[in-house]
């Protein structure tokens, strides 16, 4: 009799396995499209009935993912549901749920735990569960393993547990799901083999590691590396500015060194669902081992101070024009966390808007990717995007360039804005009405 391990690998290799993806956002949706493209039947599960209805109607709700792709997937067997009991149909269950921080900057594992608890009654022999959400080392072993085994299943024998961190970069035209190498760690060697069988069809290069903990730590190192280097260059920006040096010129010049240097550019702060959040997963977990991650926390401190630095530069610029920030009209350009996407999670632009409003100014925004300010858990603005024209730009006392979308007409902005606070180094040539921030 064939073992559950061999049967599952055979089903994956023959593309007979059903792939269940739980969480159909920026990570889950591209993954669904990829598995659908290569001939797997995919079942999508999400707690948001609106998302489910959109997808079953062949519509995308993420700007850089065209509705035509979703429509093609629904025509070729993809189905979305909010019914967790249907997990029993899936052979491989991939969890792509959020892992935010709570207000004390501690990991909020409720999405991962509640999702696993919702799946628990429907897990069966011969399935695999793969967690893709970014988290601290030990999550898979400490939180998922006991829950998956609660009903009598044994991980590594008749059900398989994997951690494989997502590596999406929304809006980056140089990479897609298929071309970004995939790190895979299994709870046991048999789990890892099943993980490799799952991902090797969809991803060009699979990178196996020795454990789920090693895979969890890999993802954190990637994001901490980025956060620390951005913190370093943000701090150098402040020093360079005080010395009358253009930090963007310096980074460009340093980047010509063909070895030992990777260019990172300063900005108005960190945004997105990874870089501002993930380092704190490790600092939190390290405390359990009596360790204090000073380096990581210091870079977080520097990066979190950037929105206030930008607003300070705005106040300086207005002062030079004989105006106070209070009662001024300020337009923030770009409110998503990075250029050319519609994702607003942890966006420093929104914090800049709040700081400006708190100081008594009238704030507005313009963003071609966000026509109306969305409902957010912690931020509330009843605003719609301002169309950029010569007249609208001239009507504001200052504009703050927070996110440098390609769709902005930077020449128009330069010609008609009274004062520009440039936090992205878009305007390299000096001009009297442009202040680098």
Catalogue the active-site residues: 274
Phi, psi of 272 (to 5 degrees): 95, 180
Strands 79-81 and 41-45, by their bridges, are parallel
Provide the angle, in degrees to the nearest 10, between the axes of the packed helices 67-75 and 28-37: 50
Q: Which of 430, 367, 437 is nearest to 404 (CA)?
A: 367
Burial (CB count <10 Å: 0-12, 13-18, 19+), residue 420: buried
- Beta bridge pairs of residue 282: none
* Those residues with Cβ within 8 angstroms of residue 290's Cβ, 6 or more apart along the chain or in another chain: none
Show the CA angle centred on residue 60, arms to residues 107 and 18, nearest 5°.
75
* Those residues with Cβ within 8 angstroms of residue 426's Cβ, 6 or more apart along the chain or in another chain: 401, 404, 410
Buried b (16+ CB within 10 A) or exposed e, 132-142: bbbbbbebbbe
For residue 244, the SS3 value is: coil
Specify the residue for token string 């290799």: 13
End-to-end CA distance of the chain: 67
Distance CA 14, CA 195 (A): 15
> Which structure tokens are listed for 42?
């995919």
Residues 392, 330: contact at Cβ < 8 Å? no
For residue 195, the SS3 value is: helix
The alpha carbon of 219 is separated from its chain's Cα centroid by a whole number of angstroms, namely 13
């Amino acid at each position: 009799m064939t073992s559950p391990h061999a049967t599952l690998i055979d089903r994956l290799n023959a593309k007979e396995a059903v792939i269940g993806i739980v969480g159909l956002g920026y990570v889950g949706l591209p993954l669904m499209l990829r598995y659908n493209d290569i001939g797997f039947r995919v079942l999508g599960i999400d707690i948001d009935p609106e998302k489910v209805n959109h997808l079953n109607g062949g519509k995308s709700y993420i700007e850089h993912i065209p509705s035509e792709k979703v429509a093609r997937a629904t025509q070729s067997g993809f189905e979305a549901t909010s019914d967790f009991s249907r997990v029993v149909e899936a052979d491989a269950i991939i969890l792509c749920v959020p892992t935010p921080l709570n207000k004390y900057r501690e990991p909020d594992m409720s999405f991962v735990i509640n999702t696993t608890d919702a799946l628990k009654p429907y897990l069966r022999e011969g399935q695999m569960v793969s967690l893709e959400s970014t988290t601290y080392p030990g999550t898979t072993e400490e939180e998922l393993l006991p829950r998956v085994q609660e009903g009598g299943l044994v991980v590594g024998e008749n059900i398989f547990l994997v951690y494989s961190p997502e590596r999406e970069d929304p809006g980056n035209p140089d990479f897609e799901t298929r071309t970004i190498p995939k790190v895979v760690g299994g709870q046991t060697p048999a789990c890892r083999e099943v993980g490799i069988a799952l991902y090797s069809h969809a991803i060009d290069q699979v990178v196996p590691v020795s454990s789920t903990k090693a895979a969890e730590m890999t993802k954190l190192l990637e994001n901490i590396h980025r956060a620390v280097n951005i913190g370093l260059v943000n701090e150098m920006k402040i020093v360079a500015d005080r010395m009358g040096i253009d930090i963007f010129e310096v980074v460009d010049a340093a980047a010509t060194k063909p070895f030992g240097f990777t260019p990172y550019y300063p900005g108005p702060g960190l945004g997105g669902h990874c870089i501002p959040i993930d380092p704190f997963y490790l600092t939190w977990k390290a405390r359990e081992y009596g360790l204090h991650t000073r380096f990581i926390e210091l870079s977080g401190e520097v990066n979190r101070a950037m929105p206030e630095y930008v607003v300070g530069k705005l106040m300086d610029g207005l002062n030079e024009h004989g105006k106070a920030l209070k009662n001024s009209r300020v337009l923030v350009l770009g409110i998503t966390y990075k250029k050319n996407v519609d994702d607003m999670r942890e966006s420093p632009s929104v914090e800049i808007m709040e700081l400006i409003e708190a100081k008594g100014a009238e704030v507005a925004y313009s963003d071609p990717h966000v026509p109306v300010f969305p409902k957010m858990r912690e931020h509330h603005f009843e605003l719609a995007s301002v169309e950029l024209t010569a007249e609208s730009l001239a009507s504001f006392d200052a504009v703050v360039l927070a996110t440098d979308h390609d769709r902005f007409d930077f020449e128009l902005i330069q010609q008609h804005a009274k004062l520009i606070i440039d936090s992205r180094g878009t305007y390299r040539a000096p001009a009297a009405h442009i202040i680098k921030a």
